């Protein structure tokens, strides 16, 4: 039986070893922090650097990366769920970028499967819009200033007030 894209993606990410979890520092909204608290994650795992975010370990890997995988998979931050799409907000527009294949092995397979691409694109937009609306604008601006090298612009979506 053919595997689903989710199954294939799981195998690809496992083989990759979590490239996107290195120096990721995903933003943590107040709602996300409450969800993480229910999993036993506390204030020691987050920090403020223009926005509230998960810390990195000494080797650069996200503080939630353990044993070769994310230990909060079911409640991981919106930017993690949206990957390999990334974003910035300027002039009330959500600009969506897609990582290049060199920095994310999953991208090649996503591009080869239009149905999976559209599903992940829609999920990324849904999650990121929710995140943007849940954060103070200064924090969205701080996140938007983070350089995202090796990405290509794939969409510009107006954000209605």
Q: Which of residues 65-124 bind ligand SF4 (CB under 6 A)?
A: 65, 70, 72, 76-77, 80, 83-84, 104-106
In the shown chain, the binding pattern of residues 5 to 24 toward ligand SF4, with x for contact by CB under 6 A and - for none, equals -------xx--x-xxxx--x
Backbone angles phi, psi at 25, to 5 degrees: 40, 60
Nearer to ligand SF4, 12 or 119 (CB): 12
| CB-based burial, 23-51: b 16+ in 10 Å, e otherwise | ebbbbbbeebbebbeeeebeeebbeeeeb
3-state secondary structure (DSSP) of residue 123: helix
Asked whether position 27 contacts ligand SF4 by CB under 6 A, the answer is no
Distance CA 134, CA 12 (A): 31
- Asked if 156 and 95 count as a contact pair (C-beta separation under 8 A), the reply is yes
Three-class SS state of 39: coil
In the complex with ligand SF4, which residue's Cβ is closer, 19 or 95?
19
Q: Is 62 in the site for ligand SF4 (CB under 6 A)?
A: yes
- The residue among 80 and 98 lying less far from ligand SF4, judged by its C-beta, is 80
Binding-site ranges for ligand SF4 (CB under 6 A): 12-13, 16, 18-21, 24, 26, 54, 62, 64-65, 70, 72, 76-77, 80, 83-84, 104-106
């Amino acid at each position: 039986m053919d595997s689903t894209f989710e199954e294939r993606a799981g195998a690809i990410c496992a083989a990759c070893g979590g490239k996107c979890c290195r120096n990721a520092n995903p933003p943590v909204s107040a709602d996300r922090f409450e969800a993480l608290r229910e999993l036993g994650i506390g204030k020691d795992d987050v920090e403020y650097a223009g926005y509230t975010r998960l810390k990195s370990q000494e080797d650069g890997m996200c503080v939630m990366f353990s044993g070769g995988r994310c230990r909060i998979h079911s409640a991981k931050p919106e930017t993690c769920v949206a990957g390999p799409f990334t974003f910035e907000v300027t002039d009330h527009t959500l600009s969506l970028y897609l990582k290049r294949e060199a920095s994310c092995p999953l991208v090649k397979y996503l591009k080869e499967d239009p149905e999976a691409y559209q599903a992940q694109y829609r999920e990324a937009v849904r999650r990121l819009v929710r995140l943007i609306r849940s954060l103070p604008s200064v924090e969205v601006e701080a996140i938007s200033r983070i350089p995202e090298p090796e990405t290509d612009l794939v969409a510009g979506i107006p954000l209605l007030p």
